[in-house]
Structure formats: structure tokens, C-alpha cells
Amino acid sequence: MSIKTPCSPEDRRRRGICTERQAAVLKRFGLNPLMDSDDAHWVIGTLKTNGWTVPALISEQVHLLDPDSPRWKKSQ
């Protein structure tokens, strides 16, 4: 599964955007695949700690949600 973004891995790193591998995990959970790498690291760690389910702590933070996911539409 590959997230299609308009930037190369070098551009992602320079801009501070998460890696494509992190983006794929985030997208799978309905989260923003273009968040910065520090946020992505924290979110994925939180998902793992929570048994790979999205806790309310994350789903309540709209900036972490993917606008294309049903989770986003539910929060509006």
C-alpha cells in the first residue's frame, strides 16, 4: 500500500512530513497521512500501546484525522 504524495522521500524529510511507511499506517486508521514525523511517531506509538485501536485521545484531535476518512466526517 503506497500513499501517493507530490513529494519525494527527500522532500518529505526536509519538510518534516512523516515517512511513507508511517503514512500508510496512519491512513489505515483514518488518520492524516501528511502529519509531521514527530506527531506520526507519537500517534503510532499510542496506537500500538492501545492494542492498535484509535483511542478517544487521538480521535478527538481533528488535526490528526484524514479529511477523506469516515472518522473525519463523524467528528464534524
Can you tell me the mean pLDDT for 6-25?
85
Domain spans of the chain, in order of start: 9-75
The residue among 7, 73, 51 whose CA lies nearest residue 18 is 7
Can you tell me the mean pLDDT for 28-35?
89
For residue 4, what pLDDT band results from cuts at 50, 70 and 90?
A: low
For residue 1, what pLDDT band results from cuts at 50, 70 and 90?
A: very low
For residue 25, what pLDDT band results from cuts at 50, 70 and 90?
A: very high
Can you tell me the mean pLDDT for 4-33?
84
CA 68 to chain centre: 12
